Chains A and B, each alone.
Chain A
Amino acid sequence: MTHSLLRRIGQLLLVTFGVSVLAFLLIHLIPGDAAELILGAEDRSPEALAALRADLGLDRSLFAQYVIWAGHVLQGDLGHSISTGRPVLEEIAGRIGVTLELTLLSMLAAIALAIPAGCLMAVLRGSAADALTRLLTIIGITMPGFWLGTMLLYGAGAIAPGVPLIGWVPFSVDPVGNLQRMILPVIALALPVLAGLARVLRASMQEVLFADFIRVARAKGLSEARVIFRHALSNALIPFITSAGILAGYLFGGSVVIEQVFALPGLGRLMVGAIAERNYPLLQAALLLATTAFVLVNFVVDVLYMAADPRTR
């Protein structure tokens, strides 16, 4: 286990380094002069350009720029927002809560519903049931969340007009209002993940249900419910947990789009706004932080997997 853990840590460091290089290069890959593009036509005085170039570090060699930039990042300085002049870390900190709440609630909803759905689908047999569950899960996986969200909003507006279902209020101010506004975004974001997870669980459950120890459990006279939930499910959960880690990144990315549908002031809306105003330092920081978080989540999932499965030790 120590060897594979060290190997995994090495891989983590390498990937994090690579991600930081790509995020760093974002500003340098912009065709043309980034400083001129960012300033636009309004204030292109030589002093303003020179000041911005110095702030972005564009006046040094690429390698020196990366070292200086990485040094700042490690000290928690990710640059300043072009539009407001505030540190980008502050701007992101003000928005990240919304995105995290949406992502976590969707993750919980998807996992909580995928376990019974996957078990149910595994028990259903026969070619018609097989085709139906397959079709339903594939429809779920390919459902465009932003469309589902739009339709839910339209339907809710027709059924219950006047109920506030978009926008955001802090949980500390109005817990009910906060959760009420999260219902539709969570459904829209969680459904594809729910379908994907249910499918993974169904496949691993069907594999496990043919194993010898399940036959033994049945032969001992245990009830079918106990066989499925106690013996089969606990063994079928390992691939499920691994996919849940990968899907966390999908949910985080998906929330960028869903926030737009429900006017949620999260990181996604911040990023989409930043593109329109060419706010590259903000985009760079958001990309770097979100990806690093995603890499760390997957690392933790892998380590848990190693701890749970003796064969990987």
Chain B
Amino acid sequence: MSGTFLFRLGLTLVILQAFAAVFAPWIAPYDPNAQDILARMGGPTVEHWLGTDNFGRDTLARALFGYRTLFAISAASVLGALLCGGGLGIAAAWRGGWADTVTMRLMDILFAFPIILLAIGIVAVLGPGAVSTSIAIGVVYLPIFARTLRAPTLLLKEAEYVVASRAVGAGEWRLVLRHLLPNLAPVILVQTSLSLSTAILVEASLSFLGLGTQPPTASLGRMLAESRSFLSLSPWPAVFAGVAILLAALGFNLLGDGLQDRLDPRLRQH
């Protein structure tokens, strides 16, 4: 099966980069803000594997700390959207009736905004920074999780084993926790992984525009934006910041895509 290789590639990328993000303070060769003025704008060398920027800061160290920011914000916003948006979608489908209609129409309205524009609007209200970026990206993904989890809940609610369980007197919470959520797990895993992939790109875009985490916290998007001013002198920080963003988004996308193949029974025959 051809997808296996890509799935493993995605999983490996995610594990390696998550490791880099978590352990950045221990594995980074330098302090990300330490300036080595004599080694400014250098290419890859033995001392600085990925070169240095215009202040002589080590690109590898800044990229590792940049992963930390990127993963923390993307994960916080996607998990928040999963809990709030997914919860709303499941509750709407489970309740049905007007609660369902009102919730989903509200989600339609949020879904109508182009992603980046909505995120920019929210950051404009809350002011630039890590917390407001997380909130902005989380809000963007609310309707996506609500929609993705509502549809299978509608089907599962009518499934024979759920109806049977209800008939023998199982409570609502037991039905949701024991029967609904385990069956929603594949959808949740796939959607979370794919959303993390695009949330990473949105976070990087916002910090490229200067709306994400503020200096001196390292951020891959801002690293790319700042290195544009000395691009013709030293392209290395720009090259590696972009490669890091691409690999992070790519890893989660391959993982989500592979999970979809593995977990969706309709595709399993191929």
Q: Is the CB of A253 within 8 A of B117?
A: yes
With contacts A131-B6, A150-B242 known, is A275 near B123, CB below 8 A? yes
Q: Is the CB of B115 within 8 A of A142?
A: no
Chain A residues, CB < 8 A from B197 = 142
A134 at the binding interface (Cβ < 8 Å): yes
Q: Is the CB of B121 within 8 A of A130?
A: no
B263 at the binding interface (Cβ < 8 Å): no
Chain B residues, CB < 8 A from A14 = 105, 108-109
B50 at the binding interface (Cβ < 8 Å): no
Chain A residues, CB < 8 A from B232 = 154, 157
* B224-248 Cβ-contact flags toward A at 8 Å (1 or 0): 1000100110010011011001100
- Whole-angstrom distance from the CB of A31 to the nearest CB of chain B? 8
Bound: A287/B250 CA distance, A = 30
- Whole-angstrom distance from the CB of B141 to the nearest CB of chain A? 14
- Interface hits, B30-69 → A, CB 8 Å: none
A15 at the binding interface (Cβ < 8 Å): yes
Bound: A274/B115 CA distance, A = 18
SS class, residues of chain A in contact with chain B? helix
Bound: A29/B125 CA distance, A = 7
Contacting chain B: which of A18-26, A87-95, A236-244? A18-26
Number of A-B pairs, beta carbon distance below 8 Å:
143
Chain A residues, CB < 8 A from B245 = 144, 147
Size band of the interface chain A makes with B: 35 or more
- Whole-angstrom distance from the CB of B115 to the nearest CB of chain A? 6
The answer, among A128, A275, A280, for a CB contact under 8 Å with B211, is: A275
B124 at the binding interface (Cβ < 8 Å): yes
Chain B residues, CB < 8 A from A113 = none
B11 at the binding interface (Cβ < 8 Å): no
Q: Is the CB of B6 within 8 A of A154?
A: no
- Whole-angstrom distance from the CB of B206 to the nearest CB of chain A? 9
Q: Is the CB of A146 within 8 A of B205?
A: yes
The answer, among A127, A138, A142, A146, for a CB contact under 8 Å with B208, is: A146
Bound: A272/B210 CA distance, A = 9
The answer, among A142, A146, A153, A287, for a CB contact under 8 Å with B224, is: A146
Q: Is the CB of A135 within 8 A of B241?
A: no
Minimal Cβ-Cβ distance residue in B for A27: B125
Minimal Cβ-Cβ distance residue in A for B270: A130
Q: Is the CB of B123 within 8 A of A144?
A: no
Q: Is the CB of A138 within 8 A of B253?
A: yes
Q: Is the CB of B116 within 8 A of A151?
A: no
Q: Which residues of B contact A (CB under 8 A)?
A: 1-3, 5-6, 9, 105-106, 108-110, 112-118, 120-121, 123-126, 128, 197, 201, 204-205, 208-211, 221, 224, 228, 231-232, 235, 238-239, 241-242, 245-246, 249-250, 253-254, 257
Q: Can you offer 16 A-B residue contacts whose CB atoms are under 8 A? A: A14-B105, A14-B108, A15-B112, A19-B113, A131-B5, A138-B254, A138-B257, A146-B224, A147-B246, A154-B231, A283-B121, A291-B113, A291-B117, A294-B112, A294-B114, A295-B112
In addition to A142-B197, A147-B242, A275-B124, 13 A-B residue pairs with Cβ atoms within 8 Å of each other are A15-B112, A130-B2, A131-B6, A135-B6, A138-B6, A150-B242, A153-B231, A252-B117, A254-B116, A257-B205, A275-B120, A275-B211, A287-B121
